[in-house]
Amino acid sequence: MPTPVQNSILMVEDEEVMRAILRQLLEVAGYDVFTASSAENAMQIFSENDISITLTDIKMSGKDGLELLDQIKSIDAEAMVIIMTAYSSVDTAVAALRKGAYDYVTKPFVNEDLLQTIKNAVTQRRLFNENRFLRRELRGRYDFSEIVGKSDSIQRVFNLVNKVAGTNANVLIQGETGTGKELVARSIHFNSERSEAPFLAVNCGALPESLLESELFGYTRGAFTGAVSDKRGLFRSAAGGTIFLDEIGDMPAVLQVKLLRALQEHEVTPVGASHPVTFDARIIAASNKKLESEVAAGRFREDLFYRLNVVEIDVPPLRDRRDDITLLVKHFVAKSVREQGAGERTVAEKAMASLVNYDWPGNIRELENVIERAVILSADEIKTDSLPSKVSASLTPDKNAGHLTLNELEKRYVGEILTTVNDDKAQAASILGIDLSTLYRKLKKYGEV
Ligand SMILES: Nc1ncnc2c1ncn2[C@@H]1O[C@H](COP(=O)(O)OP(=O)(O)OP(=O)(O)O)[C@@H](O)[C@H]1O
Ligand SMILES: [Mg+2]
C-alpha cells in the first residue's frame, strides 16, 4: 500500500508562537511535521514532499488559506486540507468546505478536537488510497499495457477482445498451453460492463464430474450426504459477472448436456432442486485442445460447441509471432527485477538471439519462467549461460542440436554454479565436490581464466 509509515502534516501558520505550540502537539501525537509561515512557502513544501494532511490558518499576510487551498487542490484534487479559523469567520470556513477542504477547526481549539479531526482525515485518506490502489491494480493488470505484443497476429486478438467486450456474446478462446488464454478472458471481462461483478473461473478438467456439477450449478441442503446447507454454484454467484470455463474440452459428457441446457434456457437446476433458477452470467470458455477435432472425434458435443463458439478467438503460439519475443523478454526481465528487488539486467545479444530462436512449447508461461530463473542466476547481464541449455542450444544448428557433449555439459554446470555463488570459487568448488585447484584447472581448460 502506498501509505507512508508515518503520516506527515504540513502546518501553515504565520504566528511564530502558534507554530511552535502546534508543532509540539503534533509531534507528540506521532506525526512528521513540516511547517510553513506563508502560503508561498507552503506550496513549495507541498510540491516537494509526500504530505498526508495540510493544516492551514485562513488569515495570513500575503496569500490566505483559501488561496492556498485552491492551489493545493489544483495539483492534487484528493489532497486533505484542514482549515483553522477564528469563531468570527466561520462563514469563511464554510466557503472553504465548498472549495473542497476536508474539515475546519475553530480557534482557540481543544487539542483533542484538533487531533481527532486530523485522525479522521488520515483514515479517510488511507481508505481512499487503498481504493485507488486496488482499482489501479485491477486496471493495471488487465489493461492492454500489461498485455505485450506488437505482432499482427496478437494485434488481431486485441482488436477482437475490444469488440466483444462490449457485447454479451459467448466467447471460445483456443490456443496452446501458456499462450495467454486466461489473460484474454480476464481482459474481456475487465473491459466489459460486467467488470464490477465477479469473474469466476473453473477448470473443467480438474474436478470429478459430481463435484464439477455442484461447483457450477450448486445444490440444495440435503441433496446428498454432506450437503448440510445450500450452495449457490458459480452460475448464480456470478450475479451479473463472467464465468470462465477453462479446459472446456475436458468437461464430462453428462455435464456437457446440462451446460447446453443451461445456456439454451438461461437457467440452471441445482443438484437436488425441483425447479430451475435463472442466472445472469456471460460465458467465456477456453481450450488448449482443438475443439473442432474433439467434436470430430465424438468427444465433444457439436451443439454445445456452436453455442459456446459465438465468437472464436485463437491465441497464436509464440513461435508464430517471434517479433513479440524481444518485447516479452524485456517485459518479463523488468517484472522479475521488480518482484525480486534485484538490480537492472541487460540481455546479451547472443542470449536474446537464442530466446527468439527457441520454439517455446510452453509458450509465454515457459518464457516467463525462463526469464525469472535467468534474472536469479545472472549478475548485470543475462548471458546464454543463465538460460536452460535447450534454449541456448537453439542457436547451434548442428546435428547434435539440443544435445550437449559431456565436456560442454560440465562447463555449463560449473558456469551456473559460479553464477549462483557470485563467482566465489572456493564455495563453487565445495558445491561441486572438487578442490579449488581442480576447479582452476577446469576453468583454464574452458579458457575462462
Ligand atoms: N501477451 C502477453 N503479455 C504479457 N504476459 C502474457 C501475455 N500472454 C500471456 N502472458 C502471461 O503468461 C502466463 C500464461 O498465460 P495464461 O495463464 O493466460 O495462459 P493460458 O493460455 O491460460 O495457459 P494454459 O493453457 O496453460 O492454462 C501468465 O502469467 C500471463 O500473465
Ligand atoms: Mg489457462
CATH code of the domain in which 130 resides: 3.40.50.2300
305 and 327 in a single domain? The answer is no
Q: Measured in whole angstroms, how far is the alpha carbon of residue 288 from the centre of its chain? A: 24
46 and 133 in a single domain? The answer is yes
- Using the atom order of ligand 1, give the atom closest to the CA of residue 181: 21
44 and 107 in a single domain? The answer is yes
Decide the pairing of beta strands 381-382 and 346-347.
parallel
d(CA 52, CA 46): 10
283 and 410 in a single domain? The answer is no
Residue nearest to atom 25 of ligand 1 (CA): 177
423 and 383 in a single domain? The answer is no
CATH code of the domain in which 255 resides: 3.40.50.300
Question: Which positions ≥6 away from 225 have C-beta within 8 Å?
Answer: none
Backbone angles phi, psi at 215, to 5 degrees: -60, -45
239 and 214 in a single domain? The answer is yes
180 and 195 in a single domain? The answer is yes
277 and 154 in a single domain? The answer is yes
- Ligand located closest to 288 CA: 1
Q: Is residue 378 part of a domain?
A: yes
User: CA-based Rg of the chain, rounded to a whole angstrom?
Assistant: 31
373 and 421 in a single domain? The answer is no
148 and 208 in a single domain? The answer is yes
105 and 132 in a single domain? The answer is yes
CATH code of the domain in which 341 resides: 1.10.8.60
Count of structural domains, the chain: 4
Cα 323 to ligand 2 centre (Å): 23
Q: Which residues have C-beta atoms less than 6 Å from ligand 1?
A: 147-149, 175, 177-183, 288, 331, 364-365, 368
- What does the chain come to in residues? 449
- Using the atom order of ligand 1, give the atom closest to the CA of residue 178: 23
Q: Is residue 1 part of a domain?
A: no
Q: Is residue 23 part of a domain?
A: yes
Q: Helices (H), strands (E): how many in the chain? A: 19, 14
| Domain housing 256 | 144-316
Q: Is residue 270 part of a domain?
A: yes
- Using the atom order of ligand 1, give the atom closest to the CA of residue 177: 25
Per-residue pLDDT of the chain (449 residues; tens, 9 = 90+): 343 457 899 999 999 999 999 999 999 999 999 999 999 999 988 887 888 999 999 988 889 999 999 999 887 878 899 999 876 677 888 888 888 899 999 888 889 999 999 999 998 888 777 776 666 555 545 555 578 999 999 999 999 999 999 899 999 999 999 999 999 999 999 999 898 888 999 999 988 898 999 999 999 888 888 887 788 889 988 888 999 999 999 999 999 999 999 999 999 999 999 989 899 999 999 999 999 999 999 999 999 999 999 999 999 999 999 999 999 999 999 999 998 898 999 999 999 999 999 999 999 999 999 999 999 999 999 999 999 999 998 886 554 455 677 888 888 889 888 888 888 999 999 989 899 999 999 898 887 66
> What DSSP state is assigned to residue 34?
E
Q: Is residue 358 part of a domain?
A: yes
What type of residue sits at position 165? A
- Ligand located closest to 143 CA: 1
Q: Is residue 2 part of a domain?
A: no
- Using the atom order of ligand 1, give the atom closest to the CA of residue 183: 18
253 and 229 in a single domain? The answer is yes
- Report CA-CA distances (Å) from 386 to 137, 393, 414, 417: 31, 12, 11, 10
Residue nearest to atom 31 of ligand 1 (CA): 183
pTM summary value = 0.62
